[in-house]
Amino acid sequence: MNYIAELRALVGTRPLILPGTSVLIADERGRLLLVFREESQDWGLPGGFLDPGESYEDAGRREVREEIGLVVRDLELLGVYSGPEYFYRYPHGDEVHNVTAAFAATVENTDVTVDGTEITGYEFFDLDRLPDDIIAPERPIVEDYVKRFGG
Q: Quote the pTM value.
A: 0.94
Q: What is the SS3 assignment for 65? A: helix
- pLDDT 10s digits, 18-55: 999 999 999 999 999 999 999 899 999 999 999 999 99
The superfamily (CATH) of domain 3-149 is Nucleoside Triphosphate Pyrophosphohydrolase (3.90.79.10)
CA pair distance 68, 23, nearest whole angstrom: 11
- pLDDT 10s digits, 94-111: 999 999 999 999 998 889
What average pLDDT does the segment 126-143 reach? 97
| β-pairing verdict for 16-25 and 95-107 | parallel
Mean pLDDT computed over every residue of the chain = 95
